[in-house]
Amino acid sequence: MAIKAKKRLITLALLTVLTSACSHLDMGTLWKYRNVDFLEVNPETTRLAIRLPEGIDIRNVRLSLAGTAGGAPAFSGDIDFDIIRSGPEMTMLPTAIGQTHAIVLKIPRESLKEARQLQINAHQLSQTPGHNGLSMGFNISTGEETAINHSSCDGAAFPTMSVWIKLEENEHYSRLVSEKSFKKILAESICGASDN
């Protein structure tokens, strides 16, 4: 069957799951950062690299971060990423990502102060006793549509993506979400959406 869906919705579903389901995250990368104090992470040097399916052109990426304390809103904020498509940063991508269908995301200089404040707020919330929560999502827009053909919900016919991360300027990228995980996430998202 064929499902007509906004590319923006597809990608948004993927990255929303990325930030909320640790079972989809690469265990090697989680182990690598196991001792990192994320309060000390520099937002200016942090990068996300995304290997995109062919034909998807991302135009805007916005990070939303919100915290709740005892069921009540504690803080929230949005940051629009700069999207890098060419130049020296692209040549530093791993071979597994390539440069043809990839983008690098960084926090723009004018948003660094806001990003740092969100980082501090999230850390303070994690140290606060009680039932607290932290949610993170990515709103990704393309303004285009695509048709996806599949006969089952196992993800075999779905396009693939992968996400990579590095925290320091001279650090190598580490895979955060594999293409296999993305196929599973996308199949679940699209099949679930088609049932509504």
Burial 165-179 (b: 16+ CB within 10 A, else e): bbbeeeeebbbbbbb
pLDDT digits (tens, 9 = 90+) for 115-147: 999 999 988 888 888 878 877 777 777 655 544
The strand pairing partners of 162, in sequence order, are 51
Q: What is the pLDDT of residue 101?
A: 84
DSSP, res 22: G
- Amino acid letter, residue 144: E
pTM: 0.74
